[in-house]
Amino acid sequence: MAKGHYQAVFERSLQDPNGFWAEAAENVHWHKKWDKVLDDSNPPFYRWFAGGQLNTCYNALDLHIDNGRGDQPALIYDSPVTNKIKTFSYRELRDKVATFAGALAAQGVGKGDRVIIYMPMVPQALVAMLACARLGAVHSVVFGGFAPNELAVRIDDAKPKVVVSASCGIEVARVIPYKPLLDEAIRLARHKPDKCIILQRPMERAELVAGRDLDWREAMDAAAPHDCVPVAATDPLYILYTSGTTGQPKGVVRDNGGHVVALKWTMKNIYGVDPGDVYWAASDVGWVVGHSYIVYGPLFNGNTTVLFEGKPVGTPDAGTFWRVISQHKVKVMFTAPTAFRAIKKEDPNGEFIKKYDLSQFKTLFLAGERCDPDTLEWAQNHLGVPVIDHWWQTETGWAICANCMGLESLPVKPGSPTKPAPGMDVRVVDENNKEVKRGDIGALVIKLPLPPGTFPTLWNADQRFVDAYLSEFPGYHKTADAGYIDEGGYVFVMSRTDDIINVAGHRLSTGGMEEVLAAHPDVAECAVIGVDDQLKGQLPLGFLVLKAGVARDHSEIVGEVVKMVRERIGTVAAFRTATVVGRLPKTRSGKILRGTMQKIANGQDYKMPATIDDPVILDEITVALKGVGYPGSG
């Protein structure tokens, strides 16, 4: 591709967003074309393709069948944990989706109704998502590693008519029964779904509640296929809850029209894949990466998508990724750096890589957390393909910054996700909302309006949307990441500006964990920080101040709070370490100095905060951290 092509496309996307995205939208099937490309009549609420009507499922499946791709594989399910590989053609997948849409409709699910999907990485999870899209219903997928309480919070917010779940998930060799978690969540929730449709897996069969629960297979057998229901481009396709600064997650909304247009555009222009190519995102359908790049993007583009039910290591070994790439002829793969750190730890010399023919593999994309240059270089050296770090978040649904391989392969700078993607007007501002000089660190923000496919609002929470994202830096979307742009226009994402930590690519709120610790009867005060970890990037670490007079063994209390976080938030939080301290370091106005504690734990230099109430406490914190192994080798 010609030098300067990226820059030309990027500039056009900002100068003429209407023309740019209208052109991309020509590639999508519309039941009715839009009246307006960008409706900016009610800022800061922007709407794309207002007046247009389409169906997301039609664009993902039926369109390709109509265009002669019916026999092409749409989905390869590869499950080392069950020893199964199964391929579904576009026609087979469409037929299953249409039938499940019929099953949902038979339970009264229609346009605008919500359906929660709490499932492991099985094809039925995709079938359920696409069936909702077919009906114009709104799905909300909840990641399987979340505990009943987190699921209950989401049930109460989304108020689903139906929940779709499975009897169990499989974590390496361990069977995790999902159904008891679902039953407990429904018991805890104020809102009760009318029905649950349960996929019975042979490793663990679930007890069904008479009158409420239906067996997936029976529901399918009884259903008649349902056709695609046209919806407004601006209607919601899904809600995906993501960690916010409290225990109350934010319901990120995705619309139908902008989503199809943007994701289809990214497949060719960012990832460089053509219809027919095999594309694999090794993530989970419970996360945004799974929504955008296991399910929707590749299917909109007529690719073959891989659904992998396994881990980078241990299922059965550190060569499993290369086996999948080679066996299914994957052209482009997308995963989180943590997966590569796990592989690198087990196979530092890349011996497994040498055993497979990876000749058709062209590019590796990484995202979800900061990509450390060591991991990037290890992957580059051993795979011999471009390794592209790209930066995005649940809110944006697709890359904010990337090396757009379909436009022009720019030189890679380790530590940088390269340059803003077309449509993403990224700036760095100071606390007064003034742009800083190139090279200076500040808040990373994106000028409004955000491009299509990003979030138009939060579910039932317009004001929270404005307060959380748009008020601190008027005119911009606050990404809550800090970083800088260098002289060459490369963006560097350094850290979060809020309480979010990134554990093995999973986004978690330390505020949410603090709420759990504070609920322990012996705890007077607490703090949770993220500490560096060589494998998972970050791990949570808790500090507990006990109530006066509590004389119990500290290790017992720590054990109890660890169990509480596991039970209330989930195993995925990986909260395993806490330490009891006499006091927490605070400013004179009472703000806990979490950033300073984090620096001590990570063995970094820190400046004594000018506003600290009592500097001696930091010595006590240092001693307590040494007691639990920090600073470690993270």
Which residue blocks in 488-580 are alpha helix, DSSP H? 510-518, 554-568
Residue type, position 494, single letter: M
Residue type, position 140, single letter: S
Q: Quote the Cα angle for 603-606-610, to 5°.
A: 150
Q: How far is the CB of 614 from ligand COA (least distance, A)?
A: 37
- Residues 553-582 binding ligand COA (CB under 6 A) are 571-572, 574
Near ligand COA by CB under 6 A: residue from 17, 193, 236, 312: 312
Among ligand AMP, ligand COA, none, partner that 184 touches (CB below 5 to 8 angstroms by kind): none
Measured in degrees and rounded to the nearest 5, phi and psi for residue 9 equal: -65, -45
Among ligand AMP, ligand COA, none, partner that 496 touches (CB below 5 to 8 angstroms by kind): ligand AMP
Residues written for the chain: 634
What is the C-alpha to C-alpha distance for residues 55 and 135, in angstroms, rounded to an integer? 9
Near ligand AMP by CB under 6 A: residue from 107, 394, 579, 598: 394
Does 536 sit near ligand AMP (CB under 6 A)?
no
- Residue 177 or 275 having the CB closest to ligand COA: 177
Non-local CB neighbours of 23 within 8 Å, separated by 6+ positions: none
- Residues 380-399 binding ligand COA (CB under 6 A) are none
Does 20 sit near ligand COA (CB under 6 A)?
no
Near ligand COA by CB under 6 A: residue from 13, 167, 304, 338: 338
What is the sign of the dihedral through the CA atoms of 106, 112, 118 and 120?
A: positive
Among ligand COA, ligand AMP, none, partner that 612 touches (CB below 5 to 8 angstroms by kind): none
Among ligand COA, ligand AMP, none, partner that 283 touches (CB below 5 to 8 angstroms by kind): ligand COA
Among ligand AMP, ligand COA, none, partner that 145 touches (CB below 5 to 8 angstroms by kind): ligand COA
Does 138 sit near ligand AMP (CB under 6 A)?
no
Residues in contact with ligand AMP, shown as a per-residue x/- string from 282 to 301 under the rule CB under 6 A: ------x-------------
Return the SS3 of 116.
strand
Among ligand AMP, ligand COA, none, partner that 171 touches (CB below 5 to 8 angstroms by kind): ligand COA
- Residues 465-524 binding ligand COA (CB under 6 A) are 504-506
Q: How far is the CB of 119 from ligand COA (least distance, A)?
A: 9
What is the C-alpha to C-alpha distance for residues 266 and 273, in angstroms, rounded to an integer? 9
Burial tier of 142 (Cβ tally within 10 Å: 0-12, 13-18, 19+): buried
Among ligand COA, ligand AMP, none, partner that 113 touches (CB below 5 to 8 angstroms by kind): none
Does 109 sit near ligand COA (CB under 6 A)?
no
Which among 172-180, 361-369, 568-576, 592-600 is the span making contact with ligand AMP, rule CB under 6 A? 361-369
Among ligand AMP, ligand COA, none, partner that 64 touches (CB below 5 to 8 angstroms by kind): none
Which of 607, 584, 582, 604 shows the shortest CA–CA distance to 594? 584
Token pair listed for 633: 């080798």
Which residue blocks in 85-178 are alpha helix, DSSP H? 90-106, 123-135, 148-158
Does 496 sit near ligand AMP (CB under 6 A)?
yes
Residue by residue, DSSP assigns 440-471 as --EEEEEESSPPTTS-S-BTT-HHHHIIIIIS
- Residue 432 or 633 having the CB closest to ligand COA: 633
Q: How far is the CB of 491 from ligand AMP (least distance, A)?
A: 9
Does 117 sit near ligand COA (CB under 6 A)?
no
- Residue 307 or 504 having the CB closest to ligand COA: 504
Residue type, position 358, single letter: L
What is the C-alpha to C-alpha distance for residues 551 and 608, in angstroms, rounded to an integer? 32
Measured in degrees and rounded to the nearest 5, phi and psi for residue 30 equal: -115, 135
Q: How far is the CB of 144 from ligand COA (least distance, A)?
A: 3
Q: Are 617 and 608 in contact (CB under 8 A)?
A: no
Q: Are 88 and 206 in contact (CB under 8 A)?
A: no
Q: Are 156 and 189 in contact (CB under 8 A)?
A: yes
What is the C-alpha to C-alpha distance for residues 171 and 142, in angstroms, rounded to an integer? 16
Which of 281, 304, 329, 360 shows the shortest CA–CA distance to 69? 304
- Residue 65 or 121 having the CB closest to ligand AMP: 121
What is the C-alpha to C-alpha distance for residues 567 and 571, in angstroms, rounded to an integer? 8
Does 317 sit near ligand COA (CB under 6 A)?
no
Q: Helix, strand, coil % (nearest 5) of the chain?
A: 30, 25, 40
Which among 33-41, 63-71, 315-323, 391-399 is the span making contact with ligand AMP, rule CB under 6 A? 391-399
Q: How far is the CB of 166 from ligand COA (least distance, A)?
A: 11
Q: How far is the CB of 121 from ligand COA (least distance, A)?
A: 7
- Residue 136 or 169 having the CB closest to ligand COA: 169
Q: DSSP letter at 391? A: B
Q: Quote the Cα angle for 417-419-422, to 5°.
A: 120
Q: How far is the CB of 484 from ligand AMP (least distance, A)?
A: 13
Burial tier of 257 (Cβ tally within 10 Å: 0-12, 13-18, 19+): buried
Does 493 sit near ligand AMP (CB under 6 A)?
yes
What is the C-alpha to C-alpha distance for residues 328 and 353, in angstroms, rounded to an integer? 15
Near ligand COA by CB under 6 A: residue from 22, 175, 176, 562: 176
Does 368 sit near ligand COA (CB under 6 A)?
yes
Residue type, position 507, single letter: R
Number of residues that bind ligand COA (CB under 6 A): 24
Among ligand COA, ligand AMP, none, partner that 390 touches (CB below 5 to 8 angstroms by kind): ligand AMP
Does 342 sit near ligand COA (CB under 6 A)?
yes
- Residue 175 or 482 having the CB closest to ligand AMP: 482
Which residues lie across from 162 on neighbouring strands? Answer: 115, 195
Return the SS3 of 373.
helix
- Residues 234-293 binding ligand COA (CB under 6 A) are 283-284, 287, 289
Chain centroid, CA 558 distance in Å:
30
- Residues 448-487 binding ligand AMP (CB under 6 A) are 479, 481
- Residue 312 or 585 having the CB closest to ligand COA: 312
Near ligand AMP by CB under 6 A: residue from 393, 418, 509, 538: 393
Does 367 sit near ligand AMP (CB under 6 A)?
yes
Q: How far is the CB of 417 from ligand AMP (least distance, A)?
A: 5
Residues lying near ligand COA in the complex (CB under 6 A): 144-145, 169, 171, 176, 283-284, 287, 289, 311-313, 336, 338-339, 342, 367-368, 504-506, 571-572, 574
